[in-house]
Chain A
């Protein structure tokens, strides 16, 4: 089929799809008046029973924790897939040689950028840990804090410390952390069975609203997801960075 015919067919189908979609959203409840009773019940349960101030994190890790288990495993598998795909592009031993070559050649980035990167690594790590641990109290949680912590690795790379990147993330450690995070979430989910209640039940004591240890299993699951997301995103980003390290030498 020629490109022109494909374009005409595509535009025609898009027009048809557009008409159907506009008809569909016309049937939704009025904007500003959600009809679901779940929307009223869920914050009540979170605040009164589980003492969780952030209703969204409470729903993510408690009321709809099973969905989050699935999402977290998607992330795990996607990190695995990206790592396998990118590792097929390089042979053994060339990464260490390329890192040593970069170190000898000297960093090519501006001094101001390197200084800024070096200065910001510590506060970023601290901010990431804060966001992960305070998921039940303020906007935050495992997912956001995890990506922030992975961003700290990028700052190390921007600071020009290429060989430090190699030493900071022995890849096996990142993979172990990824698996530990995913396993910890699954084990906490199964802990309900140990305590004689349903799987994914909130079995730890609820504490008082506003303190760090409130909400039962919610901060525990938030930390598990934080570890897993950090490790997964770090794995992906470090594989991409390795491809960049190889560009200064003629590779396979």
Chain B
């Protein structure tokens, strides 16, 4: 096991723990992006360029966009519900 692999594995472990321990979903999306980046570097170091390409594309393009759009939609629903409550009163 090379030193580079050890460093990358520890970075992935730290990023994964940070993702789990961040409670606010918006901040957690950023931590999840850092986990995706650490994973793609780990895959490169383990001799898997195809998997690294997949991981970069998915964790950089697809997943953060979906998470942010879902969170924005949830916030919109909350705001509309608050507005209706204010209108009723």
Q: A144-B57, A147-B62 are in contact. Are A31 and B1 (CB under 8 A)?
A: yes
When A and B form their complex, what is the total count of cross-chain residue pairs whose Cβ atoms lie within 8 Å? 54
Q: What total of chain B residues lie within 8 Å of the partner, measured CB to CB?
A: 19
Per-residue contact bits, chain A 209-246, to B (CB 8 Å; 1 contact, 0 not): 00000000000000000000000010011001101100
| Chain B residues within an 8 Å CB radius of A150 | 61-62
Give chain A nearest CB distance to B3 CB in angstroms. 14
Which residues B42-65 have CB closer than 8 A to chain A? 48-50, 52-54, 57-58, 61-62, 65
User: Is B50 a contact partner of A236 (Cβ separation < 8 A)?
Assistant: no
Q: Once the chains bind, are A139 and B66 in contact (CB under 8 Å)?
A: no
* B76 interface hit (Cβ, 8 Å): yes
With A147-B58, A154-B61, A237-B65 in contact, do A247 and B72 touch (Cβ < 8 Å)? yes
A144-B57, A151-B57, A240-B70 in contact; A247/B76 too (CB < 8 A)?
Answer: yes
With A31-B1, A57-B50 known as contacts, the answer to whether A147 contacts B61 (CB < 8 A) is yes
Residues of B within 8 A of A131 (CB): 53
B66-A240 in contact (CB<8A): yes
Give the 3 A-B residue pairs with the shortest CB-CB distance, closest first: A139-B49, A240-B69, A247-B76
